[in-house]
Amino acid sequence: MQLNADFSLRAVVHSDSLAWAPSPMPGVERRMLDRIGAEVARATSIVRYAAHSNFSAHVHDGGEEFLVLQGVFQDEHGDYPAGTYVRNPPTSQHVPRSAEGCTIFVKLWQFAPEDRTPVRIDSNKMPYLPVPDRPGVSHIPLFQDAREEVRLEQWTPESRIDLTVAGGIEVLVLHGAFSSGGETFVKHSWLRLPAGESLQARTGPQGCRLWVKTGHLAEQTIRLPTAS
């Protein structure tokens, strides 16, 4: 499967308008945002676990990054409530499940091959901090290395936002809304802008809270799974 697979192009998915598609595991459904590959894929998705559902044990050869959007995600390492950000690096393994049900935003096969840094952050316990030289913007840093930066951002109501990063930008709306390019982005809308483009946005009366990743689209070669 190839979905939004050209990373030199702008990509948009208003995911809440999509139907849920079944995964190979009963009770686990997904909405695909971008994808290259079959069941083993370089992929960005929103995944929903029904109550008492689980995924079988597996190794993340290409790494897994996710943000819990609703409910509580669980594995043998702990319980992760909504707002928790997790990075399971290449070669890590777990048995994901959810007793009460949950929804997560997840990215697969998008790590540097040598990355071995696990991350588990409950953003509910962290304050939003003002961003220097970006009026109306505060953030919670989640991860940064030489190739990418990941954070939560809060944009104040009725603000103009300009964000330019040489290595590309990807955002997921968590609360509120913003408009850009004549289009309105609401809860769970996803936008990916290629390297060299910038984001100009305006928030509405509620402001906007987002997951943001920058810098990761600078690479010219996209790493793909070794099996499909």
Query: So where are the chain's domains?
Result: 2-8+19-122, 123-214
Alpha-carbon distance 33 to 172, whole Å? Answer: 11
Amino acid code (one letter) for 178: F
Q: What are the pLDDT tens digits along the chain (228 aa)?
A: 999 999 999 999 999 999 999 999 999 999 999 999 988 899 999 999 999 998 888 888 999 999 999 999 999 889 999 999 999 999 999 999 999 999 999 999 999 989 999 999 999 999 999 999 999 999 999 999 999 999 999 999 999 999 988 899 999 999 999 999 999 999 999 999 999 999 999 999 999 999 999 999 987 667 778 654
| Dihedral in degrees, nearest 10, Cα atoms 164, 6, 85, 189 | 80
The reply to whether 123-214 shares the fold of 2-8+19-122 is: yes
Judge contact between 104 and 69, C-beta under 8 A: yes
Into which CATH architecture does domain 2-8+19-122 fall? Sandwich (2.60)
CATH match of 123-214 with 2.60.120.10: yes
Length of the chain measured in residues: 228
Judge contact between 54 and 99, C-beta under 8 A: no
Alpha-carbon distance 142 to 21, whole Å? Answer: 29
Cα–Cα distance list, 46 to 35, 101, 162 (Å) = 12, 14, 26
Element housing 45 (H / E)? strand 41-49
* Token reading at 133: 């030289």
Residues contacting residue 123 through CB under 8 Å, at least 6 positions apart: 83, 84, 85, 140, 142, 152
Judge contact between 164 and 194, C-beta under 8 A: no
Helix (H, G, I), strand (E, B) or coil at 224: coil
